[in-house]
Amino acid sequence: MATHFSIVAWRIPWLEEPGGLQSLGLQKGKGSSSISSDVSSSTDHTPTQAQKNVATSEDSDLSMRTLSTPSPALICPPNLPGFQNGRGSSTSSSSITGETVAMVHSPPPTRLTHPLIRLASRPQKEQASIERLPDHAMVQVFSFLPTNQLCRCARVCRRWYNLAWDPRLWRTIRLTGETINVDRALKVLTRRLCQDTPNVCLMLETVSVSGCRRLTDRGLYTIAQCCPELRRLEVSGCYNISNEAVFDVVSLCPNLEHLDVSGCSKVTCISLTREASIKLSPLHGKQISIRYLDMTDCFVLEDEGLHTIAAHCTQLTHLYLRRCVRLTDEGLRYLMIYCTSIKELSVSDCRFVSDFGLREIAKLESRLRYLSIAHCGRVTDVGIRYVAKYCGKLRYLNARGCEGITDHGLEYLAKNCAKLKSLDIGKCPLVSDTGLECLALNCFNLKRLSLKSCESITGQGLQIVAANCFDLQMLNVQDCEVSVEALRFVKRHCKRCVIEHTNPAFF
């Protein structure tokens, strides 16, 4: 026998007043179903009297703690049935606006209800299936959910509310979306997480708001004030933040190790605030514990700013300065004075970096494992010789677009960096089969090789590489004049190799 559902619409007096439906984000006669929020991506809403009536109509056994606890939530999914003229309709043609919002509310009642809709009957097995899971299993399931979905789960019932706010689930906050009001979202979330330890979120270690363009210094200041145990901060693409906000974070979060400010064009330096510098003892050395720093596309970063960064962040091991076009060899000299533990360094598209800069980089010696100098047009064989001579444990080198590199530089690199696993020398027109032969006879562990647009490369050089580098997994020969027979030879000897090519006869 089919199960019948009945929809009961309760008459609520204040909904009949002008603006009643609008206070819940519902428009009469239209299928829009969104929640009026404390945190909105486009407009700021003021709590209405209608919402206050709903909050105070909860069961009387709710404690003062739960009634005063904010819990952010996001909009209902787009496939939620809408309302037309006060009646339930599953064929509504209207759509959700798609903006991300959050709302401060008390925990839901024990049973799953909706202020306007109640399902009169539901199969017993469907109700009991997920309720049979023990708390530790539910927490494990919740651990795979992003922040916005976790907030939605907190609105289902009282049990889910308590489980969704388990401290173990809130070591990380991840928010995405260009229109979200991320400043207010961070304020609401940190306020809820601070309820057991007033004004401090001791469990929060990671905050990722990359791509949230509405993030401002106010949002970062909230993080700095409430999250002293923060270890990882990602704000890439948030171009409204400035140096002062970054200074606050690194000064008030002493355990911060990972900082990504790529695309933040207003950030020109990483340093402590003046107040923090005064409070530190001379033994501390006014240093910051950051080990990973990504400043890609920070166009206004100059040598002096890099000098300040190096002086304060002496524990750096990973530094990415891609497209910081104002940097020169002088900035790299400052960097090597203070940061002697760097393992990965990228100065791609820094057009003022030359062989003198590579001579400074070579001072890292065997500690350097990853180096990217792509499109540094002033680099020649001289700079490559410096790196090859002193950085014998180099594993990755990207020299694409360095047109001054020839077979001599490649030969010196192959003989001194025999453990090289990845090499990109695309768009180096002076590299020929002679250089490839030296590479193949010395770097047997090579796994990735890019020769894109190397005009002097032929099929003979590729066959020598394939005959010696059996572990090759990726080969890029796009825009190279190589025959189909040579490509087939590579495929026979390197069975796991993926070949990127532009020869329509080979497939």
pLDDT digits (tens, 9 = 90+) for 252-295: 999 999 999 999 999 998 888 777 666 654 444 457 899 999 99
The pLDDT value recorded for residue 122 is 52
With a cut of 60, say whether residue 26 has pLDDT above it: no
Q: In which band, very low, low, confident or very high, does the pLDDT at 507 lie, cut at 50, 70 and 90?
A: low
- Radius of gyration over every alpha carbon of the chain, rounded to an integer in angstroms: 30
**Least confident piece of the model among 15-24, 31-40, 307-316, 437-446:** 31-40
Cβ neighbours, 10 Å, residue 29: 12
Higher pLDDT, 90 or 494: 494
Residue 200 — pLDDT band, cuts 50, 70, 90?
confident
Between 219 and 107, the more confident residue is 219
Decide if pLDDT at 117 tops 60: no
Chain centroid to Cα 189, Å, comes to 19
DSSP string, 206-258: EEE-TT-TT--HHHHHHHHHH-TT--EEE-TT-TT--HHHHHHHHHH-TT--E
CB 278 within 8 A of CB 303: no
Whole-prediction pTM: 0.74
| Residue 423 near residue 449, CB atoms below 8 Å | yes
Over residues 59-64, the mean pLDDT reads 36
The residues, any chain, with a CB within 8 Å of residue 446's CB and separated by 6 or more, are 420, 421, 422, 423, 439, 440, 465, 469, 471, 472
Give the pLDDT score at 151: 87
Residue 33: per-residue pLDDT: 33
pLDDT of residue 382 exceeding 60, the answer is yes
Which secondary structure element, helix H or strand E, spans residue 294, and what is its range? Answer: strand 292-294
**Which H/E stretch holds residue 83?**
strand 82-84
The per-residue pLDDT for 52 is 37
**Structure token digits, residue 396:** 């990755």
pLDDT, tens only, 30-48: 333 332 333 333 333 333 3
pLDDT the model gives residue 193: 86
Window from 75-89, 191-205, 253-267 with minimum mean pLDDT: 75-89
pLDDT at 277: 65
Give the pLDDT of residue 49: 38
In the predicted structure, residue 84 carries a pLDDT above the cut 50: no
Q: Are 177 and 100 in contact (CB under 8 A)?
A: yes
User: Is pLDDT at 125 greater than 70 in this prediction?
Assistant: no
**Which positions ≥6 away from 141 have C-beta within 8 Å?**
133
- Name which of 445, 449, 375, 447 is nearest 410 in CA terms: 449
What is the per-residue pLDDT for 197?
77
Token pair of 415 as six digits? 């003989």
Q: Is the pLDDT of residue 4 over 60?
A: no
Three-state SS annotation for 297-363: CCCCCCHHHHHHHHHHCCCCCEEECCCCCCCEHHHHHHHHHHCCCCCEEECCCCCECEHHHHHHHHH
**How many other C-beta atoms lie within 10 A of the C-beta of residue 485?**
11
Nearest CA to 37 out of 192, 165, 184 is that of 184
pLDDT band at 408 (very low <50, low <70, confident <90, very high): very high
